[in-house]
Amino acid sequence: MYVSGLAARAVRVRRRLGALEHGWEEGFWARKAVVDSGAASLDYEQFEERGLRLVLKGTLNAADAQRFWPQVMQKVAQCDPSAIEVDAGGVESLDTAGMALLLELKAGQEQRQRGFRIQGLRDDLTELMRRFDPGPPAPPKPAPPWLVRAIHRVGEISHGSLVGFHTQVAFLGEIFVRLLSVLVRPRRLRWADTFLIAEKAGANAVGIVALMGFLIGLILAFQSAIGMRKFGAEIYVADLVVLVLFRELGPLITAFILTSRSGSAFAAELGTMKVNEEVDALVTMGVDPVQFLALPRLVAAICVMPLLTLFNELFGLIGCGLVMRSFGFPVAAYIDQIQEAASLGDLFGGLVKTFVFGALIAGIGCLRGLQTGNSPSAVGDSATRAVVSGIVAIVVADGVFAVLYYYLGV
Amino acid sequence: MTMGSDAPPIIQVSDVTVGYDHHIVLKDVTFEVGAGEVFCILGGSGCGKSTLLKHMIGLHRPLTGRILIDGTDIVTAEGEERRALLGRIGVAYQNGALFGSMSLIENICLVLEEFTSLPRQAMQTIARMKMKVVGLQDAGDRLPSELSGGMRKRAAIARALALDPKILFLDEPSAGLDPITAAQLDDLIVELSQTLKITFVIVTHELASIFAVADHVIMLDKERQTIVARGSPEELRDRSDDPWVRQFFHRESSAAGIRR
The pLDDT of residue B251: 67
Q: What is the mean pLDDT of residues A356-371?
A: 94
| B188 contacts on A by Cβ (under 8 Å) | none
The pLDDT of residue A16: 47
pLDDT band for position A5 (cuts 50, 70, 90): low
Q: Please check whether residue B96 touches A, CB under 8 A.
A: no
Closest CA to B225 of B13, B24, B66: B24
Cross-chain Cβ contact A23/B80 below 8 Å? no
Q: Closest to B116 (Cβ–Cβ): which among A26, A66, A132?
A: A66
List pLDDT tens digits, range B176-197. Answer: 788 888 888 888 888 888 888 8
The whole-angstrom distance between residue A16's C-alpha and the CA centroid of its chain comes to 31
- Of all residues in chain A, the percent with pLDDT exceeding 90 is 50
| Average pLDDT in chain B | 84
Q: Whole-angstrom Cα distance, residue A342 to residue A248? A: 13
- Of all residues in chain B, the percent with pLDDT exceeding 90 is 6
Alpha-carbon distance B70 to nearest alpha carbon in chain A (angstroms)? 10
Strands B199-203 and B167-171: parallel
DSSP conformational letter for B46: T
Q: Closest to A375 (Cβ–Cβ): which among B129, B141, B145?
A: B145
Cross-chain Cβ contact B129/A19 below 8 Å? no
List pLDDT tens digits, range A269-317. Answer: 999 999 888 888 888 888 888 888 999 999 999 999 999 999 999 999 9
pLDDT band for position A22 (cuts 50, 70, 90): very low
List pLDDT tens digits, range B202-225. Answer: 998 888 888 888 899 998 888 888
Q: Please check whether residue A328 touches B, CB under 8 A.
A: no
The whole model's pTM is what? 0.68
Interface of A with B in 51-110 (CB under 8 A): 62, 65-66, 69-70, 73, 95-97, 99-101, 103-104, 107
List pLDDT tens digits, range A36-92. Answer: 345 778 888 887 778 888 888 888 877 788 888 888 888 888 888 888 888 888 888
Q: Please check whether residue A130 touches B, CB under 8 A.
A: no
Alpha-carbon distance A187 to nearest alpha carbon in chain B (angstroms)? 41
Regarding predicted confidence, which is higher, A35 or A332?
A332
In contact, B174 and B207? CB cutoff 8 Å: no
Q: Is residue B5's pLDDT more than 60?
A: no
Cross-chain Cβ contact A20/B84 below 8 Å? no
pLDDT band for position A387 (cuts 50, 70, 90): very high
The pLDDT of residue A261: 95
DSSP conformational letter for B250: T
List pLDDT tens digits, range B30-81. Answer: 998 988 899 999 888 888 888 888 888 888 888 888 898 888 888 888 888 8
pLDDT band for position A9 (cuts 50, 70, 90): low
Q: Is residue A234's pLDDT more than 70?
A: yes
Q: Please check whether residue B125 touches A, CB under 8 A.
A: yes
Interface of B with A in 154-173 (CB under 8 A): 163-166
Which phi and psi angles does A371 have, rounded to 5°?
-85, 0
List pLDDT tens digits, range A135-190. Answer: 877 777 888 889 999 999 999 999 998 998 899 889 989 988 888 888 888 888 88
The pLDDT of residue A384: 95
Q: Whole-angstrom Cα distance, residue A175 to residue A162? A: 20
Q: Whole-angstrom Cα distance, residue A16 to residue B129? A: 23
pLDDT band for position B138 (cuts 50, 70, 90): confident
pLDDT band for position A35 (cuts 50, 70, 90): very low
| Average pLDDT in chain A | 86
pLDDT band for position B135 (cuts 50, 70, 90): confident
**What is residue B253's three-state secondary structure?**
helix
Q: What is the mean pLDDT of residues A193-215?
A: 95
Regarding predicted confidence, which is higher, A323 or B96?
A323
